Structure 1
Amino acid sequence: MKIRKMLRIVGILGFVWQLSTIWGTVGAHEDTTIHKFEGVDRNDSMSRVERVERTKQVTVVSIPGLSFLELRPDQLSALPHFEHITQFGAVGAMNIRTTNRSMRDVYASLGAGEPAVGIVEALTFEARESRHGVRVSELMNRYTGQLGGGQTSLLEENSLIVPELAMLKRLNKEQAYGVGAMGDLLKTYGVHRSVLGSSDLGRGMHLEQKQLRRYAPLMLMDSNGFVDKGTLGDDAAMAVVDRPGGMSTDYAHLTSLWKNRQQLSISVIELGDLYRLYSERAHYDQDRFNELKGLVLRDMDQWLGQLLEGMKPGTDSLWMFSPEVNAEAAKSKLYLSPLLHYTASGSGGILVSESTRRLGIVTSQDFTSTLLNEFKIPVPNGLIGIPLAASGMSHALDELVRDQSSIQMIYRSRPSLLYPFATFEMIVLLISLIYALWIKRRGRKEVVPAQGVLRILLLSLLTAPAVMLILGWIAVPATTQFGINGAIIMLVVSLVAGSLILAFILTAYSETTAMIWLGVGTAAIIVLDTCTGAYAMKYSVLGYDPMIGARYYGIGNEYMGVLIGALVLGITAALQRRYAARGTRASRTAALAACAAFLLVTVCLTAPSLGANAGGALSAAVAFGVAGVQCFAGERWRELRLGRASALLAALLALGVGALWLLNSADSPAAFARESHVGRAFHALRAGQFDQIGHLIVRKLRMNVHLLRASVWSKVLITSLFVMAVLVLRPRGRLRVWQHKNPYWMYGFSANMIGAIAALLLNDSGIVAAATMIVFVAVPLLLLRLGELAVEQGA
């Protein structure tokens, strides 16, 4: 098919993309479906309240600055109550990544049940406090008009108010639910909400002179900006001249307030001493800083002991987390926050989430749904988090810390591997193109040595993804044995050496044979790993990224592009070798074998327990369908004209959507065994939540536009397209010659190109998938051209 005819198909795919957005929006890292928040039916809310746990009391202790560095065995030995909670409670690592990596974003996100943005101005005050000479309740009424008609006097003195609510809502107007969603549900079901303590810097000062850090109430406030009760100011702290900021949390007063909580309640207690210490980090030498940190942690530990003694079996539930890890942890790339759950009757274990399907790794949205579930409040379809569960495991914290080290190593190694690799890809492609244009004017002696080196380098671009996946199997033991820095060095060396060695071995074969081994072998490794638990992909630099929540399970967009591109290349190369040897088209047996491979991979991408990549499944249906039709259909289908291409693409996407529906609907055995984010999207669709489609389309466009500007993969995609265009258009008529001489090569190239366009349009981060897929067109084209030039020069 000619390039200009391929470009006409872009418009068709763009239209179909809008129709398929419902299914293609879900990837697992941010690749999550956003449904409309259905809220609660107020007409029967009272009857539902009767089903809520009437005696449940949930306490959430928030410690800004806490990280896994403070939960190491050498630290816990001096903190017996922290240690008790980790031994007899459930432990987890929560993704708290937000736009600004700040605790105000985290609190707002927990309250909204989805990623939200907090602002410095959105501070919380007690109703009795005054700001700029105006009582806060009056200020709230001025901004919102919610307290008119004398209602200001009805507020309790210790009610909490967020006066700048309008600014916060305006900043989050793109959100599906809006801030305060969890507070609204708790309020509707009669759960009393209170917030105690803050991370304010400065005590005894006038309110305007303090550096206020009062964001915890954003977690429990309702959509009107109110929390039932709280103590945030000087009453929650006491003056201590030798502590950070000259103040310390008044633990005795917090305990007294906590003991007087209501029967059905949730209390958030923020302990700000560790945050205040790190805020003044530059003023201390290391010894004094360590001394103060030990004192702060021991004070917290003693207070936790009092809290544990006051907990009642069966009704009290304690959660502990950090809304912002400290600077040391962030510098080490330990961005996941500790999340601990303890009940008086509980036993040790590890937190698990169906959102991540990975022991110990959970999302902040899961935490929101879990807090609602504590009171038996039904989680609305609009909330994407899934209530957490605990899995029994001895030494759960030790296992989690070891896993954290491996995740940390992979995260830190990406800048040392992926960015240089992408740059290497672009350089090799451009140098090879220049050489292919320059070689025509040179003689045989100058051709052979340089071409051999270029062939190895080009082949290494195709072997590298498989090597990256294989290295995932050795990442964990390497981290354990050599430490993080040593493991990173080992990964870099192994990737370079492994890719070049495999490429050198493949140079002993013809281009066609090399492409068969590369394509089929790479696809087989990816499918095998996916079907056996995706262990290698979990620890591959081209795989998951729990630190930023890019994906937790299934096949990510990087390897989705590799899988589709490699399989199409391998199968069409095999058919081309048969055609070159016998001069005949593909037999029925070959057609059946190829179609079976295409079907197997499509099912793998579609199944909720395997690939779980909706956009990938649709992209595979397009690429494999085009390849199958061109390779095995009649002559009139080999050149896809506009009308014929439109009908074919519509049919392929319909088949892809049908497969997604069958494997992810509620009645499917596969979905029954393990529902994925794709299945939850179908549930929202069946519930008639169509008003979010426009929001989803806008989100897709913004994500791809952002990646087009910021991602290195966009540059790889553009470079590959440029190389392909030059090879096809210069000199004129080459494309027609290749179509006649190497028909199956060209069928594969056109299928992968159309598949890359589909991946670009059908995925949130389609740039990445398109870039990894299009390399399986650009590199073989260059190898094909270099081989022809070598023959022309008599090499």
Structure 2
Amino acid sequence: MKKFITAFMLLLMTLTFMLPQKSYADTSNNKKVVLVIIDRVSLSDYTKYDAKNIQKLINNGSVGLMNVRNADGYVDASGYLTFGTGTRASAHDIGQISLNVNEKYSFGTAGEIYELNTGDDYGNANIVNIGISNLIQSSKRADYKITPGLLGQLLKDNNIPTYVFGNSDIITDSSVSYRRYGALIAMDEKGTAFGDVSENVLKYDRNSPYFISTDYNKIFDYFQKYDKNGGFFVIDTGDTSRVDSYSSNVSDQLASKYEEYAIKNADAFIGKLLKNLDPSRDLLIVATPYPSKSDMSTNNLLSPIIIYGPGYNGLTTSITTKRNGIITNLDLAPTILNYFGIKAPVEMLGHPITNIKTQDKVNYLENLNDKVVSIYTARPIVLKSYVIFLIIILILYLITLFLKINYLKYLKPIVLGVMIVPLSLLILSLFGPLTVYSSMIALILITIALLLIIKLFAKNELNMLIVISLLTALTITVDIFTGAHLMKGSILGYDVIAGARFYGIGNEYMGVLIGSTIMGVMALIQKYDNKATKFSGVLFFALVFLLMVLPQYGAKIGGFITGFMAFGVTLLLMSEIKINYKNLLILFISMVLLLTLMFIASMFMDTVTHMAQTALIVKNEGITALYKIFARKLNMELTLIRYTIWSWVLIITIMSLFILSYKPTGILKSIFKKNKYIYYGFFGSIVGMLFALAFNDAGIVAASTMCIYAFPPILIMLEGEIRKSEI
């Protein structure tokens, strides 16, 4: 067995360093990138209102859905600022306000107030953010680096001119609501920019809400004036945003009429732009930083992104998501920099948007969006219902165990069914978008069907535990190896709208995979205690571990830590090596050393993994950046422990184990003595839970899903032991 462990460790050390390489494109200067903002619309609106020029961009360019979450969740100004920082940012109050320098604001002109607030001269810029000092200070209080104006500054440093035109202002007789958010994308780090965001780019229009609309003729004149020198242009069309704000004052029919008018005007403007752009060298991006009110109310929170230019014709994707048709708002700034041949700094957490060739793009994205929305909508309800049901069944089983043991025959199948649910949730993803209640009904039916099928082949509880655990582990393993297609569509898998993870393995299925693998293998060895079974078990541990942590598969650093300790402790026990402080410390130090080597290697290997990105941040910003990351993850973990219902799974498990340790007297010890390999798996799982809690930003979830496979088998064996003791 010690030879097995040595081979296992060598295999891990060799394969863990098989990391992909990344290269940066080298592009020429004097080209144009034009970012047209059409806010608060959906992809279907362009088809619905027959926007011919935009449809031309969709047909001949790349199109996708964009996660637009920012540091404030969903705040429009923060979404624009996130475009310009390349990391989730927050634009607070006065930090949102950009004005032309000669515009009056409060007690002076914008230029005068800017100089008063900053102590700086705005130079030859004609747009200033009068709250840039507040914006910089509030960004510094974040536990990760945010640099307002980073995109504009990098372009400026490389002599690439930037311009911003247009606004989404709402003007009434009594007030002006300044919504010049486009400047948050194009400004430099001093909060200055060049262009026109004043009322000068608006015109009186009785057909538009508030009787104002964007004066596209003026904006086009500006564009023609400056486009000869190339550069980066941000054009805020504005009208669709005003329509959305006004929609609550009118009927749905009128709101739709105004939206059609706004979209068609923007579409006509894009048609004029296209005549002045060279698709073989210039880049046109049409983006929506913020969803409409109606989309927000129906959880349609992914916004459309369209890119037209060389190399783009298909679906958008990026290394950030590794999902066909899905990117994030963090990817926009690196894409623009990459197009101008500028390397994005490590604080920009996104990656350049790339292209995936495909047919029937719009239909694909509509189906994808339906599935993503259904997962986002069903996830909290279905998972909360499952956890509540799990907790109730565990409590009922304990009560029945002590008071009415004869009734356990009714509860045992339900306990086994609870263990099947994570597998059922994988299978459920094959059925496409479902409503919440349809999902719950289908989940119950799939679980019952699996339970009945398994019962046909496994005649006793131990066999059923083996089959359920190993079938779950094998299904997840195969799914990860083949691209995680089931996990991507599972309610227990990724939530693209929440945006915590887009690929690899998440905390939920990480816990399921580790727990089911350990208990399944140990139960199998308990039944077939021979060298062949043990050797197969070690190989399966190694395979699961590698697939869980390698960047092209699971890409889970928390899984590396949790899996290393959980599998490691289980293997030590299998080898009859005593678990004491010394051996645990040696195992822990081995894990830390290997992790450190990977971390250091990531600083110099130019890779695109989460670890590599963290390593590069530490390399550039110093060790304090690592402390901030740990602090953020710890804060997230403590918040989750307090508020997530998954915490109760762990609480009930701990309380149950405490009770069973004392009553019935010695029964738990007796079970573990008779089933030593089950004990090894249980102990290894407990260690895994502790490390999942300590070293994962949502470790409470991983620890709780591990419990699903660690604790129920003990309860089922308890029932058998109590029956024997009563005979």
Q: Does 1:104 align with 2:77?
A: yes
Map of 2:413 onto structure 1: 456
Map of 2:23 onto structure 1: none
3-state DSSP of counterpart to 2:226: coil
Tell me the distance in 1 between the aligned counterparts of 2:137 and 2:512. Answer: 41
Percent pairwise identity: 27
Q: Does 1:213 align with 2:179?
A: yes
Q: Does 1:195 align with 2:164?
A: yes
Q: Does 1:224 align with 2:193?
A: no
1:689 is displaced (CA, Å) by 4.3
Tell me the distance in 1 between the aligned counterparts of 2:311 and 2:554. Answer: 35
1:524 is displaced (CA, Å) by 0.3
1:660 is displaced (CA, Å) by 8.0
Q: Is the 8 A contact 1:94 1:363 kept in 2?
A: yes
Tell me the distance in 2 between the aligned counterparts of 1:716 and 1:765. Answer: 14
1:525 is displaced (CA, Å) by 0.4
Which deviations, in whole Å up to 9, do the C-alpha atoms of 1:51-73 show, x marking residues without a partner?
A: 874311211011111112313x4
Map of 2:590 onto structure 1: 651
Tell me the distance in 1 between the aligned counterparts of 2:266 and 2:617. Answer: 44
Which amino acid is 2:576 matched to?
A
Tell me the distance in 2 between the aligned counterparts of 1:172 and 1:136. Answer: 22
The farther-off stretch of 190-199 and 778-787 is 778-787
Q: 1:454 to 1:717 in 2, by over 3 A?
A: same
Q: Does 1:770 align with 2:709?
A: no
Map of 2:564 onto structure 1: 621
Q: Is the 8 A contact 2:603 2:619 kept in 1?
A: no
Tell me the distance in 2 between the aligned counterparts of 1:604 and 1:312. Answer: 45
1:107 is displaced (CA, Å) by 1.2
Map of 2:117 onto structure 1: 143
Which amino acid is 1:185 matched to?
L
Tell me the distance in 1 between the aligned counterparts of 2:475 and 2:204. Answer: 62
Q: Does 1:426 align with 2:391?
A: yes
Which amino acid is 1:646 matched to?
L
Which amino acid is 2:569 matched to?
V
Map of 1:45 onto structure 2: none
Tell me the distance in 2 between the aligned counterparts of 1:432 and 1:467. Answer: 22
Q: Is the 8 A contact 2:312 2:355 kept in 1?
A: no
Q: Is the 8 A contact 1:614 1:660 kept in 2?
A: no
2:656 to 704, 720, 723: 723
Alignment of 1:359-438 (within 5 A): 359-438=324-403
Which amino acid is 2:641 matched to?
L
3-state DSSP of counterpart to 1:65: coil
Q: Number of matched residues?
A: 696
Map of 2:238 onto structure 1: 272
Q: Does 1:68 align with 2:43?
A: yes
Tell me the distance in 1 between the aligned counterparts of 2:92 and 2:617. Answer: 31
Tell me the distance in 1 between the aligned counterparts of 2:128 and 2:398. Answer: 64
Map of 1:542 onto structure 2: 492
Tell me the distance in 1 between the aligned counterparts of 2:604 and 2:94. Answer: 44
Which amino acid is 1:280 matched to?
Y
Q: Does 1:338 align with 2:304?
A: yes
Q: Is the 8 A contact 2:384 2:645 kept in 1?
A: yes
Tell me the distance in 1 between the aligned counterparts of 2:620 and 2:262. Answer: 50
Q: 1:625 to 1:347 in 2, by over 3 A?
A: closer
Q: Does 1:783 align with 2:716?
A: yes
1:681 is displaced (CA, Å) by 3.8
Which deviations, in whole Å up to 9, do the C-alpha atoms of 1:74-109 show, x marking residues without a partner?
A: x15x22111111111111111111223022111111
Tell me the distance in 1 between the aligned counterparts of 2:427 and 2:124. Answer: 62
Tell me the distance in 2 between the aligned counterparts of 1:723 and 1:503. Answer: 25
Q: 1:659 to 1:497 in 2, by over 3 A?
A: farther
Which amino acid is 1:268 matched to?
V
Map of 1:757 onto structure 2: 690
Map of 1:511 onto structure 2: 461
Q: Is the 8 A contact 2:667 2:721 kept in 1?
A: no
Q: 1:434 to 1:656 in 2, by over 3 A?
A: farther
Tell me the distance in 2 between the aligned counterparts of 1:694 and 1:415. Answer: 31
3-state DSSP of counterpart to 1:260: helix
Which deviations, in whole Å up to 9, do the C-alpha atoms of 1:644-672 show, x marking residues without a partner?
A: 3222332344456667888x7877xxx98
Which amino acid is 2:408 matched to?
Q
Q: Is the 8 A contact 2:139 2:146 kept in 1?
A: no
3-state DSSP of counterpart to 2:170: coil
3-state DSSP of counterpart to 2:301: coil
Tell me the distance in 2 between the aligned counterparts of 1:456 and 1:657. Answer: 45
Q: Is the 8 A contact 1:606 1:660 kept in 2?
A: no
1:790 is displaced (CA, Å) by 3.3
Which amino acid is 1:554 matched to?
G
Q: 1:133 to 1:681 in 2, by over 3 A?
A: closer
Q: RMSD of the alignment, in Å?
A: 2.4
3-state DSSP of counterpart to 1:406: helix
Q: Is the 8 A contact 1:456 1:500 kept in 2?
A: no
Which deviations, in whole Å up to 9, do the C-alpha atoms of 1:409-454 show, x marking residues without a partner?
A: 2222213311111111111112222222323xxxxxxx43x21221
Normalised TM-score (structure 1): 0.83
| Structure 2 unmatched ranges of 5 or more | 1-15, 17-25
1:141 is displaced (CA, Å) by 2.0
Q: Is the 8 A contact 1:53 1:264 kept in 2?
A: no
Map of 1:34 onto structure 2: none
Q: Is the 8 A contact 2:207 2:258 kept in 1?
A: no
Which amino acid is 1:178 matched to?
T
1:738 is displaced (CA, Å) by 2.9
3-state DSSP of counterpart to 2:502: coil
| Structure 1 unmatched ranges of 5 or more | 1-22, 24-50, 440-446, 579-585
3-state DSSP of counterpart to 1:457: helix
Q: Is the 8 A contact 1:618 1:657 kept in 2?
A: no
Which amino acid is 1:112 matched to?
T
Tell me the distance in 2 between the aligned counterparts of 1:437 and 1:171. Answer: 57
Which deviations, in whole Å up to 9, do the C-alpha atoms of 1:280-322 show, x marking residues without a partner?
A: 2122122222222222221111111111122234443210111
1:237 is displaced (CA, Å) by 0.9
1:494 is displaced (CA, Å) by 1.9
Alignment of 1:167-186 (within 5 A): 167-173=134-140, 174=142, 175-186=144-155
Which amino acid is 2:459 matched to?
Y
Map of 1:253 onto structure 2: 218
2:104 to 92, 106, 130: 130
